[in-house]
């Protein structure tokens, strides 16, 4: 599932990124951390709880955030609102597809689980271009 052949252009464009990942599934969090590092991101912080994610969104220094839509039964939309207020680009990761999305966030790029390396790279680029 992971294609480790990230191209040089992507590595250059993502090389200084500090990324916040808020994902309650440990294996998915580790996969995202590895894949984001593989595309060249400089630092990836993975948090698994809503409260920790909200605090990081309020005070952390990140260039991009990846939010699981459902964090142990709690929607991550308040975290997204905080990131948007701080002009931090974000993307959602979800297994629910568009049906699980709040219409207020229809312009935020969404990564459909399960995903491939190329999907993540594409959606990260979309999130950064839309910022």
Dump pLDDT digits (tens) for 4-47. 444 434 444 798 999 999 999 999 999 999 999 999 999 999 99
Query: Where are any strands of DSSP class E within 3-129?
Result: 18-22, 43-47, 64-68, 70-71, 74-75, 90-94, 110-112
Asked if residue 2 is part of any domain, the answer here is: no
Predicted confidence at residue 130, as pLDDT, reads: 84
In this structure, what CATH number is given to the domain that contains residue 97? 3.40.50.2300
Asked if residue 44 is part of any domain, the answer here is: yes
Q: Which domain holds residue 99?
A: 12-129
Predicted confidence at residue 5, as pLDDT, reads: 45
The number of domains in the chain is 1
Task: Answer whether 110's CB lies under 8 Å from 96's CB.
Answer: no
């Amino acid at each position: 599932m992971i294609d480790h052949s990230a191209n040089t252009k992507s590595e250059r464009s993502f090389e200084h990124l500090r990324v916040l990942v808020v994902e309650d599934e440990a294996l998915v969090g580790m996969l995202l951390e590895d894949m984001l590092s593989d595309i060249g991101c400089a630092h990836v912080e993975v948090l698994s709880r809503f409260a920790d994610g909200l605090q990081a969104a309020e005070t952390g220094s990140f260039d991009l955030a990846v939010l699981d839509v459902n964090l142990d039964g709690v929607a991550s939309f308040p975290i997204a609102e905080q990131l948007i207020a701080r002009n931090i680009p974000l993307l959602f990761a979800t297994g629910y597809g568009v049906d699980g999305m709040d219409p207020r966030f229809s312009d935020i790029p969404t990564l459909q689980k399960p995903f491939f390396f190329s999907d993540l790279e594409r959606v990260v680029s979309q999130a950064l271009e839309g910022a």
